[in-house]
Amino acid sequence: MRLLSVALLTLVTAQGNSAEIRRDPFRAASIAVCSQLNAAQQWQLKGMIGTGNHWTGWLAQSDDQWLKLKRGEMIPPGDWQVSQLDKSGMKLTAVARVATCEGISATVSLASPFINKLAAH
């Protein structure tokens, strides 16, 4: 009976940690974090709607993966959070930065697509 209790406790503990950021255990933590920061630099803010403090943005992570986001929301799997979203654009902040990456900021600023279109004309 005691063994069963320990096994159940271990299972519950493991499930409780499922929200933790997962990484490749065969790569150094700093390399994994730096590659995530580099990938985020390629994301694009494709659309926005809102007013005042209530904005929604559409983030393109790739050609076929778009996310609808609001300020404060986490970007799956939980490495980034929308720290600012307003008419000027979106700012993303790395949630768990394990190491400092040479020359790469822990925040990514994405300009409003409407500002970019106005500047082009």
Pairing mode of beta strands 107-111, 74-75: unpaired
- The pTM of this model reads 0.64
pLDDT at res. 62: 84
Domain map of the chain by residue range? Answer: 41-111
Q: Which fold has domain 41-111?
A: SH3 type barrels. (2.30.30)
DSSP per-residue string spanning 66-118: EEEEETTPEETTTTEEEEEEETTEEEEEES---SPPTT--SEEEEE-HHHHHH
SS3 at position 57: strand
Mean pLDDT in the chain? Answer: 74
pLDDT at res. 100: 58
Q: What is the pLDDT of residues 11-53, one digit of tens each?
A: 333 444 333 445 566 766 556 667 766 778 889 999 999 999 9
pLDDT at res. 105: 73
Taking residue 48's Cβ as centre, other Cβ atoms within 10 Å add up to 20
Amino acid at 87: K
